[in-house]
A and B are shown apart, each in its own frame.
Chain A
């Protein structure tokens, strides 16, 4: 069932991800300034678009796009997978500092976390708004 919360969350997440892509396309400093609040914006740890780095790092980009994909696919919440995703991300974070810092691993852990977190966030907001039974 599509609730008002779901539609609003989907629209907000799509806008959020679109603005990440619009940063390098438009070169808007306002977009980069906004995302500077929540990301280190290290160009060497960010994907590039049209020769410019995205306003958030690879891990953040993966989380947000994984989150958006899960919303579009309307996945159901799975606690076990969320726990696996959190543990995987923490392990990858530590692993990157002591052994190997790979963009692919950052991306995979981010996507997994975003995908598993989104259904819970959707359900939580629906419950808060009194839309969930």
Chain B
């Protein structure tokens, strides 16, 4: 029973007008929660955050002196993965999965190793004098160790100031291994610390 707001007459629940004074009865409208489930979150764009993270870690890891930051547990590389993940979370404020952080970290490590290898070419040219002395020291060390054959040739080629396909490939693969691993860890831990993560979708 609802009382009429005008005259106070008790009215049944279904009444639309007061049968005594004719005042319309305001029906209480209860908003029902939407039964339509929210759609899937928009797909994430991984490439741009990974490129930004890759540029960050690639440049800082290959510029002489600044690259020494990597002596602190690969700080620049871990930071590049973290930066990529931070940019990724901006696309989805509700949070990303740990797997998304891992994936964007690996991608930024991949891009970073390409950038670092490309930057290493002019760096090697500019610091050829230093590499020349390093090669002499390497030759002396190998002679003392008694190393001969292909291992000695490879070591000398890597220490050589000359830029060859061997040195570039070796630099690239070593960077790829270390950068992908540590940038991935940086990406995962950033998601974990921010704790804006959601359950990973089931992939079948």
Contacts and interface: CB of A to CB of B under 8 A. Distances in A.
A67 B71 CA distance: 19
Contacts of A60: 73
Given A77-B192, A124-B191, A59 B99 contact: no
Contacts of B71: 38-40
Contacts of B141: 29
A120 interface: yes
Interface in A99-122: 117, 120-121
Given A127-B97, A128-B102, A121 B193 contact: no
Contacts of B73: 38-39, 59-60, 63
Contact of B99 (A82, A83, A117, A124): A124
Contact of A117 (B97, B185, B191): B185
B114 interface: no
Nearest to B181: A12
A109 B150 CA distance: 43
Given A37-B178, A38-B70, A117-B185, A79 B192 contact: yes
Given A127-B99, A130-B203, A82 B174 contact: no
A124 B102 contact: yes
Contacts of A21: none
Contacts of B51: none
Given A34-B174, A37-B74, 8 more contacts: A38-B182, A60-B73, A79-B195, A121-B185, A121-B188, A124-B98, A124-B192, A132-B99
